[in-house]
A and B are shown apart, each in its own frame.
Chain A
Amino acid sequence: MKREQKAKATNEFNQVVMGNSLSKDAWRRLRKNKMAVISVVIVAIYMLLAITAPILPIYSYDEIVNEHQNLLPSLTKTSGELMWDKKLSDLYTQAWRQNRLTVTDAENEILEAWVLKGQATKVWDYLLEEGNRQLAEGSFEWSAAEKRTLDNLEKKIASDIQITIQKVWQTNQETGKKINISKMAVKDLVQLYADLLGVPTEPIVTQYTYEITESVSKEIQAEVTDLSKEEYALMAEQRLSDMSGKDYDKLIKANIIAKINSTVKDMALYELKSDASQASTTYPFDKEMSITDTVSASIKAAKMHDRRYYLGTDRLGRDLMSRIIYGSQVSIAIGLIGTFTSVLIGVILGSLAGYIGGKVDYFIMRVVDIMYGLPYMLLVIIAMAIFGRNILNLFFALAIISWLTISRMVRGQIMSLKNQEFIEAARSMGASTGRIIFKHLVPNSLSVIIVFSTLRIPSFIMTESFLSFLGLGVQAPFASWGSLVGDAVGGMTLYPWRLFFPAIVMTIFLFAMNFLGDGLRDAFDPQSKNQL
């Protein structure tokens, strides 16, 4: 609505008189519906988390930490402690198998029964407790090899650090001025890198030339297939010589900066590692370190095994919580964008069919009928196969197929409205077809459209999840609720949390959306309310 339509009207006492629109009434009724209000709050929280994901204090969703695979969810323990426990229970179990860790016959029976039922986690938990008790009592001792393993692990947990290079500077020795390397000229950069490595510049130049040519020809290979090696090389050369000096410099710069960063990282890591054994630094930190006399860097570092995973980790050691949050982003976006596009297409085509009628109606409705007849899932799968599997195509495939129901519904609604007198009134005033559809007909079917869309979002999410579950939807490293559940099914018995958390998050959202849809329907149509 345009602002100018909100002109104030005042009565004789100079009080503003505002009308109560039907949607305002509906909103008031919705607010009385407790379930709907709770649902609105839940949906709002989800949306907020999904939108703010990049600035939330969570780990990256695609960072793989090999040592942290399948860690249990824990609110209190760090990943190091969890790793330690895991190792201990591994060793205790081994010892129990080798009969070095002795338990009573009754306990043995129970443990064996668990093993038979495949409940390995129970065995581990039990033996961890039992082993720790016996170790404290002195009735069990580690072998020398085991001791060594544990010592190594302890050292590793204490010293493993993870660092990220944020900025690298070079200090000019004469002026004492610091220059960010991303702002340096190519020549200086190459020189700096050579100095860092302690080699002459020529081999570096040969290396980056080779690497850039290689990456360009890779690019070409991705674009055109079925050429001979010589042709590729020729095309790559062509493209490089076509490039302006500036663009080529950019490529060199990116190449060298990446190399400098990784060299600086290695050097900093080395320094910090030797520090860590002396325990002179506290982690995590974010500070400037000098790497050589002239080079310094701003570095973020944290102890690798101080990380906490409140919802555990997945098969590759990625933080499940951040994967779920980023997965929500994808799933909710698909639900919203898919619904939006399908409602847009459906409303436009449905209202045209309903209002104009005749041949237009006949044609549109036959298309709808035919598309209804085609197997929905198959179409999506075929579309994904043709256009490639990425998120955008998934949106697209879902949207072009799911406008059918809404267009039928809108058509029916419009047909029942178009013979109303207020439409005749508009026509007699010379209103155009577009105006009648979008100012009169669509606003009057809005309640149906809104309710339908709300109930449509969960079904979109379900479809997307189903496709992702089958491996046709979102591709790694991206996540969606469906792909998370799909990934987790494999280790369902050993690592139930990997399945449980995404599933529960998804379920809550779908419930909320459905309650909200029902609430909206009741709110828009007070007569239809099913009273208990």
Chain B
Amino acid sequence: MAEATTTRQPLLTVTDLKQHFPIESGFILKRQIGAVRAVDGISFSVYPGETLGIVGESGCGKSTTIRSIAQLYKPTAGKVMFNGLDLVNASKDELLKARKDIQLIFQDPYASLNPRMTVRQIISEPLTIYSNRKMLQPEMTKEEIETRIEELMERVGLNKAFKNRYPHEFSGGQRQRIGIARALALNPKIILADEPVSALDVSIQSQILNLLNDLQKDLGLTYLFIAHDLAVIEYISTRVAVMYLGIIVELSESRDLYHNPLHPYTKALLSAAPIPDPAIERKRKRIILTGDVPSPIKEHKGCYFYERCPMRMEHCATNIPPLHQVSEGHEVACWLYE
């Protein structure tokens, strides 16, 4: 697999993406007094057919990354290349065309579906929008859209008899399936999934994950998958990126990361995850991080993890470690491995 990824053309390439939210003050003449550096320069590629997982604590900028890639926010800086098109500087029409291939699945199955629409209206919305704009290839008639809806519902495991029901008449897991069906409607190439299972309970989580896995196999989808649950990420991802305070600190093959974590933050993260075997669990040494997560407003001169790092060195305080390759397909941003 490692060779395969290097030889293949990436589907999505993010280069030095930054997303800063300005903090303004003043009444009429607004003055910028700082910025929340939600995403502070990240680069990675996603290859066709793979699943790139992104893990990180709450507030480290995972959702913002996805939203900037999907151009829901205008990125402050950086490039997002999708299929040879730079989405950040694309024209409206180009962007619309590209959007057909990039679909989102959201975290909260309750908030991501319009409560005033029936399931069929929700699922058919992307089709309707593109068919109204005459951008659907091939063009679909009303009946074809109707059959497509039923097909999609069955595909994600919903009873098509419920297509005239409203979201509030479904359970959380079912609602997430509706969201998945909506994302599939336009036959996208890549799906950006923002913690699609974190709001569900564990048994339902595995159902949804299995569904996503099946869909990937059958439809050849590519996923950019966010989670803060390491077990989920391990299960679904081919490669994993670990985020901390708006940057990527480690990026590697999934298996590699779990057996051989390099960055101190990754190590701490992995040691905090519970292990289902009580014997190992008891013996295992935990790394307890000291200090709080620094404010994302702060501008860093050195390593972003410096304040909390158990292995910090003097050098780290003033020099930002770049992400560099340590072994085949394993990159880390830490001076320990220089």
Contacts and interface: CB of A to CB of B under 8 A. Distances in A.
Interface of A: 4-12, 17-22, 420-422, 424-432, 435, 440, 443-444, 446
Contacts of B164: 6-9, 17-19
Given A12-B161, A422-B111, A430-B99, A7 B129 contact: no
A422 B160 contact: no
A421 B183 CA distance: 14
The 3 closest A-B pairs by CB, nearest first: A19-B165, A11-B161, A421-B112
Contact of A425 (B96, B106, B163): B106
25 contacts: A5-B121, A6-B164, A7-B120, A7-B163, A8-B164, A12-B161, A17-B164, A19-B162, A19-B166, A22-B168, A421-B106, A421-B107, A421-B111, A422-B111, A425-B179, A425-B182, A428-B72, A428-B99, A428-B102, A429-B99, A430-B129, A430-B130, A432-B129, A440-B114, A443-B116
Given A19-B169, A429-B129, A431-B125, A9 B160 contact: yes
A422 B112 contact: yes
Interface of B: 67, 70, 72, 95-96, 99-100, 102-104, 106-108, 111-116, 118-121, 125-126, 129-130, 133, 142, 146, 159-166, 168-169, 179, 182, 186
Nearest to A18: B164
Contacts of A424: 67, 72, 104, 106, 112
Contacts of B106: 421, 424-425
A22 B116 contact: yes
Given A424-B67, A430-B129, A444-B115, A20 B166 contact: yes
B127 to A, nearest CB: 9
Contact of B162 (A4, A9, A21, A420): A9
A17 B161 CA distance: 6
Contacts of B111: 420-422
Given A425-B104, A435-B129, 14 more contacts: A10-B161, A17-B161, A19-B165, A422-B111, A422-B112, A424-B72, A424-B112, A425-B112, A428-B70, A428-B104, A429-B99, A430-B100, A443-B116, A444-B115
A422 B114 contact: yes
Nearest to B168: A22
Nearest to A429: B126
A527 to B, nearest CB: 14
A420 B114 CA distance: 9
A11 B150 CA distance: 12
A10 B161 CA distance: 5
A422 B133 CA distance: 21
A483 to B, nearest CB: 42
A430 B120 CA distance: 18
A405 to B, nearest CB: 24
Contacts of A22: 115-116, 166, 168
Contacts of B103: 428-429
A10 B166 CA distance: 15
A432 B93 CA distance: 12
Contact of B125 (A421, A426, A432): A426
B72 A4 contact: no
A22 to B, nearest CB: 6
B188 to A, nearest CB: 10
Contacts of A444: 114-116
A527 B120 CA distance: 28
Contacts of B113: 422, 425
A506 B165 CA distance: 42
Contacts of B114: 422, 426, 440, 443-444
A28 to B, nearest CB: 14
Contacts of A432: 129
B161 A427 contact: no
Contacts of B107: 421
A218 to B, nearest CB: 56
Nearest to B71: A428
A11 B161 CA distance: 5
A426 B113 CA distance: 10
A42 B289 CA distance: 69
Contact of B161 (A5, A9, A443): A9
A18 B163 CA distance: 8
A242 to B, nearest CB: 52
Nearest to B160: A9
Contacts of A20: 165-166, 169
A11 B99 contact: no
Residue of B67, B121, B129 contacting most chain A CB atoms (<10 Å)? B129
Contacts of A5: 118, 120-121
Contacts of A11: 159, 161
Nearest to A446: B116
Residue of A420, A427, A428, A444 contacting most chain B CB atoms (<10 Å)? A428
A19 B115 contact: no
Nearest to A17: B161
Contacts of B186: 429
Contacts of B166: 19-22
A264 to B, nearest CB: 64
Contacts of B165: 17-20
Contact of A7 (B95, B104, B146): B146
Nearest to B105: A425
Nearest to B92: A430
Contacts of B182: 425
